């Protein structure tokens, strides 16, 4: 779908207008293929928030309990699940899961973000929508300890078994003390408070 000159102008106008009119209201979606895609999806799923980040990038925020429902609707346009990445927000006590979707027909990259609590983190699996999700969920399970209900192969995956129990990409995992117990005391360059250079 080619973007004509008119549409580009519209996009510029709408982005300039939005902050002037109302500060608190949601910014208007631009009249591009990305904007129309977001609008179309939000009509089907009004509980989500959507925005256009830039050309070929769109973003959604979805409450965790409705993520499966939303992704099922989104999978009509987005044929590919590219990655499930996890961000650990330690102070807020939350994991942010980012489902990265790619639309082959529209060539648009979508981020679907959702937040869950760090304690007893549980999510429904999306293997029934995209079978490839199995691998990504196993990885997220191993590194962060999120349990994806319905995925049959959760368990030790890439790491050594002793690391699997600790979930090393969590922000409260102390790498330095772990390194000292596994590889020996005499290899660190800073002291425990990371202020003095030792070697």
Partner 1 sequence: MGGDFISYELKEFKLFEPLFRWARKKSIWLVAFCTGCGGIEMPPLVTARYDIERFGMMPNPAPRMADLFLITGYVTPKTLKRIIITYELMPDPKYILAHGSCPINGGVYWDSYNVVKQLDKYIPIDVAIAGCMPRPEAVMDGIREIMRKIENGEADGWRRYRENYEWYRKNQDELFGEGWRERDAKRWLAWL
Q: How many CB atoms lie within 10 A of CB 125?
A: 17
Applying CB under 8 A, the residues found at the interface with partner 1 are: 158-160, 163, 168, 173, 175-176, 178-179, 182-184, 187-189
**Closer residue to partner 1, CB minimum distance, 90 or 179:** 179
Name the minimum Å distance from CB 190 to partner 1. 8
User: In terms of Cα–Cα distance, which of 131, 70, 119 is closest to 90?
Assistant: 119
Nearer to partner 1, 20 or 197 (CB): 197
Give me the least distance between CB of 196 and partner 1, in Å please.
15
What dihedral do alpha carbons 45, 46, 49, 50 form, nearest 10°?
60
CA distances from 64 to 116, 121, 124, 155, 165 (A): 6, 11, 9, 23, 25
134's tokens: 């199995």
* Residue placing its CB nearer to partner 1 in the complex, 134 or 163: 163
At its nearest, how many Å lie between partner 1 and the CB of residue 121?
21
The residue (of 92 and 192) whose beta carbon lies closer to partner 1 is 192
Smallest distance from partner 1 to CB 89, Å: 21
Cβ-in-10-Å burial (0-12, 13-18, 19+) of 194 comes to exposed
Q: Residue 152 or residue 161: which is nearer to partner 1 going by CB?
A: 161
Nearer to partner 1, 23 or 175 (CB): 175
Phi, psi of 122 (to 5 degrees): -135, 140
Q: How far is the CB of 198 from partner 1 (least distance, A)?
A: 11
Q: Please state the closest distance from residue 171 (CB atom) to partner 1, in A.
A: 13
Burial of 143 (0-12, 13-18, 19+ CB in 10 A): buried
């Amino acid at each position: 779908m080619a973007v004509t000159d008119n549409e580009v102008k519209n996009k510029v106008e709408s982005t300039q207008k939005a902050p002037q009119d109302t500060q608190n209201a949601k910014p208007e979606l631009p009249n591009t293929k990305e904007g129309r895609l977001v609008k179309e999806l939000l009509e089907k799923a009004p509980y989500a928030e959507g925005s256009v980040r830039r050309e070929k990038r769109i973003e959604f925020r979805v409450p965790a309990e409705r993520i499966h429902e939303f992704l099922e609707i989104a999978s009509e346009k987005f044929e590919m699940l590219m990655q499930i990445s996890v961000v650990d927000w330690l102070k807020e006590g939350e994991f942010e899961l980012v489902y990265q979707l790619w639309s082959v027909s529209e060539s648009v990259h979508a981020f679907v973000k959702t937040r869950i609590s760090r304690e007893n983190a549980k999510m429904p699996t999306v293997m029934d929508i995209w079978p490839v999700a199995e691998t990504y969920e196993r990885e997220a399970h191993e590194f962060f300890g999120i349990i994806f209900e319905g995925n049959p192969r959760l368990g030790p995956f890439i790491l050594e078994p002793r690391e699997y129990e600790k979930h090393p990409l969590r922000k409260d995992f102390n790498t330095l003390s772990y390194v000292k117990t596994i590889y020996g005391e005499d290899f660190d360059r800073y002291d425990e408070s990371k202020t003095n250079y030792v070697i």
